[in-house]
Amino acid sequence: MKSKKITVLVVDDDPAALETIAELLVEANYRVLTAPGGRRALEILQQQTGIDLIVSDLMMPEMDGIALTKEIRGMGSHIPIIVITGFATIELAVETMKAGAADFITRPFNNEQIKITIEKVLENQRLQKLAGEREFYKQLSNHDEMTGLANYRSCHETLGKETERASRYTRPLSIMMIDIDNFKCCNDTYGHLAGDAAMMQIAGLIKKQTRTSDCVARYGGEEFMVILPETPIDEASMVAERIREAIEQHPFVSEEGAPIASLSVTIGLSSIPDRAATKKDLIRTADIALYKGKTSGKNKVVVFE
Ligand SMILES: [Mg+2]
């Protein structure tokens, strides 16, 4: 399969120089567009998409390379720009880099030099894009897409680390399992979009009542877990009570802002080292407490005993 040609826009006020660079790039198998000045270059950029790179002369009447670079960055465009300059104006080239150019080439240059610089700049851009994507996917895999909270996977990872740390240094660690009461009713009555909106509001309320050092995770469909490092059970149950109250009193609204039914949560708590010794035990005992709350009227905080 033939890959798509890279498009380079060459800008130079000197027609001979413009032609030389254009020819050399065409030979190197690039698609080439030319502009005799900055204004024309900006016009081309506004009319055409798919320009991968700009090679521009630095010294030009009317609009020089720096002004052009600033204009292009001002448009919000990230197209890499390489400026061409003579030795006398190398400081200006540096200034152009500060304005957002990717690299510069000094005159006189040979053909290889310009090709290598172009390849290097394009490769850098490709790597930067990849790094950005990797960060994006990492974010996705650690976070629940809807609420932005930690997801099940990263919650387990954090809990593993925290239980290990708590046992090693004999420090207190508490967790709470939070389950929304009668959530199915909310979805059935107001629709899933309203249910999602309510879910996000609950996530926000939990987050608001906890410290940044606590980990708030969406644990399952309508279940959240809060991991509270360095927190004994009585402190954790006070936080849980604040969360329960905040949710009970919150005027929930749909995605369109229309009021919907009030909601409540049931919270089960457990802690290391007094109620559990391992991560598995910690989850199991918090779950038992949650179940007890669910079967004894809901909308309450229950500590595992
Ligand atoms: Mg010039």
pLDDT of residue 3: 65
Domain boundary among 105, 136, 167: 136
C-alpha 95/C-alpha 89 separation (Å) is 10
Tell me the per-residue pLDDT of 213-236, one tens digit each, with 9 for 90 and over.
Answer: 999 999 988 999 999 999 999 999
23-51 mean pLDDT: 94
- 7-11 β-sheet, strand order: 31-35, 7-11, 53-57, 81-86, 103-107
Lowest-confidence region among 52-56, 62-66, 160-164, 206-210: 62-66
Examine residue 142 and state whether it is found in any structural domain, yes or no.
no
Q: Tally the residues of the chain.
A: 305
User: What is the Å distance from ligand 1's center to 171 Cα?
Assistant: 69
Split at pLDDT 50, 70, 90, the class of 126 is confident
Using the structure block, give the residue that is written with the tokens 């909270």. Answer: 149
Between the CA of 112 and the centroid of ligand 1 the distance, in Å, is 21
pLDDT at 139: 66
Residue 252 shares a structural domain with residue 166: yes
Residues 204 and 119 in one domain: no
* 265 and 241 in a common domain: yes
| Distance in Å, CA 78 to ligand 1 centroid | 24
pLDDT at 49: 87
**214 and 85 in a common domain:** no
Would you state the pLDDT for residue 1?
42
Name the average pLDDT for the chain. 92
- Return d(Cα 233, Cα 271) in angstroms, integer: 6
Angle at 60 between CA 55 and CA 64, to 5 degrees: 75
Of the candidates 19, 71, 133, 222, the residue annotated as catalytic is 222
C-alpha of residue 189 to centroid of ligand 1, in Å:
70
* CA distances to 35, 225, 302 from 178, in Å: 63, 6, 10
Q: How many angstroms is it from 65 CA to the middle of ligand 1? A: 9
Q: Residue 102: inside a domain, yes or no?
A: yes
Check pLDDT > 70 for residue 80.
yes
The answer to whether position 122 is within a domain reads yes
Q: Are residues 163 and 299 in the same domain?
A: yes
pLDDT single digits (tens) 245-266: 999 999 999 988 899 989 999 9
What is the number of structural domains in the chain? 2
Q: Could you list the residue range(s) of the whole structural domain that residue 43 is in?
A: 7-136
- Do 42 and 108 lie in one domain? The reply is yes
Same domain, yes or no: 167 and 81: no
Question: Looking at residue 164, which CATH number applies to its domain?
Answer: 3.30.70.270
Residue 254 lies in a domain: yes
27 is catalytic: no
Choose among 217, 185, 184, 191: nearest CA to 202. Answer: 217
Span from the CA of 15 to the centroid of ligand 1 (angstroms): 9
Q: Tell me: do 167 and 297 sit in the same domain.
A: yes
Assigned domain for 268 exists:
yes
> How far does residue 3's CA lie from ligand 1's centre (Å)?
33
In a domain? residue 177: yes
